[in-house]
Structure 1
C-alpha cells in the first residue's frame, strides 16, 4: 500500500507539471513541503505541513500522517537525486512510497550547456565538509555540484584553488527552468574572486580542461615533486621504497590510512591518491616538518590528508580506525606505537614498518615475536646511477628492512 507520493516540482511550475502530478496533489489529504512549491497548487485546500518550521519535526509529522495514507510530499526536481526521496527510503519500505519525478537541476544544467552527461559525476555540498572533494575529482572529467548557503560556488572555487585544482571551467547555473534562469562561466580563480551573490537555487558544473591530475604531479610522483625539510633532504621515504610500501599496504579507494612519522608526508600523500574516497592521517611531531607536509598536501591536491601534530602514540586513539598503517619513524616509541596501531587496526588491515637501523629491526622483530604475530620481511637494496667522469656508476643507498603484518579476523 502506497502511503506517501513524492512529487517532483519544476521551477516553472504549471508549465512543466504533468497531469499525474497535479492529480496526485488534488486528491491528497495532506501535502508537505516548502511553501514556494505549494504556490503551484492553489486548488489544494487540505492540511499543509511546512518544512521551514524545522526539518526533524516536519519529518516526524510526515511519517505520522502517512499512517492514514494520502500524503503528498513536494520536492524540487527529481526527489531521488540528492533529495528527500533518499531520506524517506531510509525510514519507510519502498513499496509504501510512490515517486513522480521531473527533470533534475543537473539534467537541466547539462542540457543548457550542451554537454553529454552519461559519464558525469555528482557531488552534493549540502551540509557537508568540502574535505576530500579535490581527491574525488581526480576520478572524472565532468562534475555537477549542488551547493548550499555555506558552501557557495565561491567557497567551492576557493577550496579548489587552495589545493592546486585549477584546470577546470566552472559554470554556475541558477534558477534552472525558472523565470530568472542564468548561466555564467568562470575559471576557478575567477569564481573564487567573484563578489556577486548567486541565487540559492544553483548547480555548478565543472569541466576539466587538461589531464594534469593531482596538481600536475600525477600518481606515484617523483621525489622532486615533494617539498622537503632543508638541509636534511633525507626526510622522505624515497620513491622506489615508497612505491613498494604502497603495494604492501594494499590501500583501497575507501581506506583509512595512518602514516606515523610522516616526515615530508610523501607516503601519506601517495596513499591518499589511492584511497580517494577515504581518509589519511599524517602523524608527525617534528615542528620543522609541519610546513613541508602542509605544502605537499596543497601542491598534490590531496585534501583527504589531515596533518596530526603529535608524538605517536599520543593522539592515535582519537583518529578513525585504520585499514592500513605505515610506521616510518618512531622517536623511540616503537613498542607503544606498534601496540596502539595493531589494536586500532581493522580486521584484515595491514601494518607496515620500515627500518634503517639495526636497533629498529630488532625492536620490530622482538615485538612481533612477543605478540605472536606473523611477520613478513623484505630487505630492499637499491642503487642509483651516478656520473663518474664520462661514465655512469652505481651508488648504493642504505638498505631498508620492510616489515608487513596482517591482522586476521
Structure 2
C-alpha cells in the first residue's frame, strides 16, 4: 500500500523523493531506467520501481497500491508517458492526479531561435551550414536523421549508458560524433565542447534552469553561435515541485520537519568606487553579511576584504548559488554605481522577488552619472541618460535630438570610438566631457570638441557628457528635401509622398523597420531619424541602390541603419522581427514578402507604395486573397511649382497609391464570415 506514487527520474522527481523520504508517508517512486533509480535517495519510507510501464500496467499498479495521489513529475517532453499516467489515474476511482512542471526560460537568459517541434528545427538546420551539437538526449535522435550531411555535421551528446550507446550507434551516430557524458554541464564545459568541435548551432529543449538551459544559452552566446530551442508541448500545465511539496504536506496534514529559515539578500549599490562614496546603509549591510558576492574590483575594497566572498557577476549563477547554499542566512550582492541605472540589480530583483524563503532588500548607491554631472556643474534633471556599454545604442541619433546627453562607455565602445563615430557623422564640433576613474585618486576629467578628442587616449571604461547646442533646431517631422539626398538613376520616393508614407507607418521612436527595395534610401533615412532609439534594415538587391542607400546613411549620420544587399524575402531571414515594414519594390515577390513579414510578426504594420495601375490591382487582389481586412488605400497627386520666367507653373508628378494595413489594432489575415 502506498499513500502516494511519484513518476519521474527527473530533477523534479528526485527533489520530491528527497522531500518525502523521511516523512511519515508510504511513497513509491517509479523511474524508467536503472540509471534513474541510482540517482534517487536511499532509505526512509521510499520504495523505488524501475522499468517502463504501459497504461495497463499503471492501472494494475494503482489497484495494488491504492494510493491517494499520483504525482506526474516526468520530463516536459515525455508527452506519451504523461498521457498514459493521466488516463490510468482517471480509471482509478478517487485517485487524484497532480502534474509537476518545470519552470520555463523566463526570456531574459539569452536570445535563440525557437522552433515549435523537431521537424521545424530539422527544416531550419537544413537551410544552414556548419556543425551541429544535439543536446536533446537520445530518445528523439531518430527524428534528426533527416539533417543534410548528418554524418559530417551532427554531434550527439548522450548519457554514458550501454543501451543508449547501442541505440544511437544503430542510428548512425558513431565515433567522434558521439559524445557520451553525464551532466550537469557548466557554461565552461559547454563552451569548451562548442569550440573543440567547431559548432555553429547548439540544439536544446526548453528544459528550464534545472535542465541546464541557462548554461547552454550562455555558452552559445559567448561563442557567437546560434541556439536552436525546441519548444515545449503547449498543453503541459501544472504546478512547480515546491508548490507540490507544500500541497502534499497540507493534504496529509504533515508540516515540513525542518522549516527553512527565512534568509536575507541585500543588493547593494557601491557607488562610484571610492569607499567614501558608499552610503552608511550599504556599509552596514556588507558588514553584517555572511558572504559578499560581486565583481573582483568590488571585493578588493577595505570594506569587503576581510569578508567571505564569491567572485560572480552573472545574475542566474548568483541566484543558483543562493539557492544551493542555505547555510548563508545573510547575503550581500554588491553592484557598482547605483542599483537602478543599467545595473545587474534589475535582473536579480526580478528573480529573487519570487523566492519564498528570501527577504530581498535593494539599497541604492551614488551613480557615476550623478557624481560626474555634479562634478562638472550640470544639473542632471536636464540630461538624457543612456548606456553604450555592451548594448546597442544609437548615440548619434540621441545627441542629434537632445541638447544634453550622458553615456556610459566600455568594451568595444570606448571614448575614442565614440568620438570618431560622432566626427564621421558630422558632429565633430559638439562639446564633450570625458570622465575616467571617478572618485579615485587618479580621477581625470577631459573637455573638448569630439573631433579634437578622437585621437586622444582614454580608459575604455569611462563616462561622457555631450552638449549639442544645435539640438534645439532638430526637425522631427518627415519630409526632407529631395535635393538633400545623394541621387543616382535609381528611383526615389519624393518628399511629399515620403511624408504621407511615414504618417501611415505610425512609427514609434524605438521601432524596428524594414525598408524593402530601399532604392536611394530616402525612406530608410527618414525612418532612422524618427526611430532614433530603434533600428532600420534597408534591403536592396541592386548594387547601385545599395551604394546610394549607404551614401545617404552616411550623409545624414543615420548610424542606426543596416544596409543589406539582397533580394527579399531571402535577405530578411536572419533579421530580428520587424514592428514596421515599407515595401517600395518587391521584384515580383510581394506575396512571399508579406507572408514572411507576418511569419516574423503577425502584428507588423506594413505600407506599400505603387505607381502603376496594374501593380495596384495586383496588390489589392493579393491582400484580398490573403484575407487582410484593415486595408487603407490613399492616392496622392502632387504638383510642384517650376519657375518659367517670372511665373510659377504647377507641374504634376505621377500619382502614387499608398496602401497601409496591419499593426497592433489592425485585423489582419482573418477569416471573413460574410465573404461571398
TM class by shorter-chain length? Answer: 0.7 to 0.9
Could you say which structure has the larger radius of gyration?
Answer: 2
Once the 2 structures are TM-superposed, how far is the Cα of residue 288 of structure 1 from its aligned partner? 0.9
Q: Is the 8 A contact 1:172 1:205 kept in 2?
A: yes
Q: What does residue 399 of structure 2 align with?
A: 137
The structural deviation recorded for 1:147 is 1.4
Q: Counterparts of 1:318-333 in structure 2 under 5 Å?
A: 318-333=574-589
- Structure-to-structure mapping, 1:52-71, within 5 angstroms: 57=317, 60-62=320-322, 64-65=324-325, 68-71=328-331
SS of residue in 1 equivalent to 2:348: helix
Secondary structure of the structure 1 residue equivalent to 2:470: coil
Alpha-carbon RMSD: 2.8
- 1:193, 1:383 → 2: CA distance? 49
**Counterparts of 2:323 and 2:424 in 1: how far apart (Å)?**
43
Tell me the distance in 2 between the aligned counterparts of 1:402 and 1:13: 59
| 2:635 counterpart of 1:379 | yes
User: How far apart are residue 2 of structure 1 and its match?
Assistant: 6.1
Give the whole-Å Cα distance in 2 for the aligned partners of 1:237 and 1:331.
16
Superposition deviation, residue 363 in structure 1: 1.4
Give SS of 1:129's match: coil
Q: What TM-score do the two structures reach when normalised by structure 1?
A: 0.88
Q: Distance in 1 between matches of 2:606 and 2:279?
A: 58
* Alpha-carbon spacing, 1:235–1:38, altered in 2? closer, same or farther (3 Å): same
In structure 2, how many angstroms separate the alpha carbons of the residues matched to 1:6 and 1:42? 15
2:194 alignment counterpart: none
Q: Who is 1:176 aligned against?
A: 438
Structure 1 residue matching 2:533: 3-state secondary structure? coil
Change (3 A) 1:309 1:24: same
1:213-255 Cα offsets, whole Å, 9 max, x none, are 77x99853111111111xx2x6110001110111111112222
Aligned match of 2:343 in 83, 86, 93? 83
Instruction: Report if aligned partners of 1:167, 1:210 keep a CA contact under 8 Å in 2.
Output: no
Quick check: 2:400–2:468 contact (8 Å CA) kept in 1? no
Which residue of structure 1 lines up, in the alignment, with residue 332 of structure 2?
Answer: 72
Q: Secondary structure at the match of 1:311?
A: coil
Asked if 1:207 is matched to 2:462, the reply is: no
1:277 aligns with 2:539: no
Is contact 1:313-1:340 (8 Å) kept?
yes
Aligned to 1:228: 487
Which gives a bigger RCO, structure 1 or 2 (Cα 8 Å, sep 6+)? 1
- Structure 1 43/399 Cα, relative in aligned 2: closer, same or farther at 3 Å? closer
Deviates more, 1:281-290 or 1:373-382: 373-382
Superposition deviation, residue 84 in structure 1: 3.0
Query: Bigger CA drift: 167-176 or 240-249?
Result: 167-176
**Alpha-carbon distance, 1:43 to partner:** 8.0
User: Which residue matches 2:390?
Assistant: 127
Check 1:387–1:117 CA distance in 2 against 1; reply closer, same or farther (3 A cut).
same
Check if 1:237 corresponds to 2:493. yes
Distance 1:63 1:219 in 2: 53
Aligned mates of 1:346, 1:325 — CA distance in 2: 12
Larger deviation: 120-129 or 34-43? 34-43
Shift of 1:176: 1.5
Change in Cα spacing, 1:48 to 1:341, as seen in structure 2 (3 Å) is: closer
* Structure 1 residue 133 displacement after superposition: 2.8
Kindly tell me: are residues 354 and 15 of structure 1, through their superposed partners in 2, closer, same or farther at Cα, counting changes over 3 Å? Answer: closer
Contact 1:257–1:324 (Cα < 8 Å) also in 2: yes
C-alpha distance after superposition, 1:10-53 (max 9, x if no partner): 4564434444333322221111223443444368644211238x
Cα drift, residue 106 of structure 1 = 0.9
**What TM-score comes out, normalization by structure 2 length?**
0.55
Secondary structure of the residue aligned to 1:318 is: coil
Distance, in Å, in 2 between the alignment partners of 1:11 and 1:339 is 51
CA contact (8 A) 2:515 2:523 kept: yes
Greater shift after overlay, 243-252 or 30-39?
30-39
SS of 2:592's partner is helix
Please identify, of 323-332 and 92-101, the stretch whose mean Cα deviation from structure 2 is larger.
92-101
Does the alignment pair 1:26 with 2:287?
Answer: yes
1:185 is paired with a residue of what secondary structure? strand
Q: Say if 1:389 and 1:141 are closer, same or farther in 2 by CA, change over 3 A.
A: closer
**1:366 equivalent in alignment to 2:621:** yes
Within 2, Cα distance between the matches of 1:217 and 1:101?
Answer: 36
- Distance in 2 separating the partners of 1:189 and 1:78: 31
Residue pair 1:10, 1:177 contacting (<8 A) in 2 also? no
Mark the CA change 1:133 to 1:108 in structure 2 (over 3 Å): closer, same or farther: same
Per the alignment, do residues 74 and 177 of structure 1 end up closer, same or farther by CA in structure 2, a change over 3 Å counting?
same
Unmatched tracts of structure 1, length 5 or more: none
CA distance in 1, matches of 2:468, 2:561: 23
CA distance in 2, matches of 1:135, 1:356: 32
**Equivalence for 1:154:** 416
Q: Deviations over 1:51-110 (max 9, x none)?
A: 38x886556335544774211122323232222322311321188322333321111110
- 2:204 alignment partner in structure 1: none
Contact 1:335–1:363 (8 Å) recurs in 2: no
Verify the 8 A CA contact 2:537 2:564 in the aligned structure 1. yes
CA separation in 2, counterparts of 1:342 and 1:15?
55
Counterparts of 2:424 and 2:511 in 1: how far apart (Å)?
24
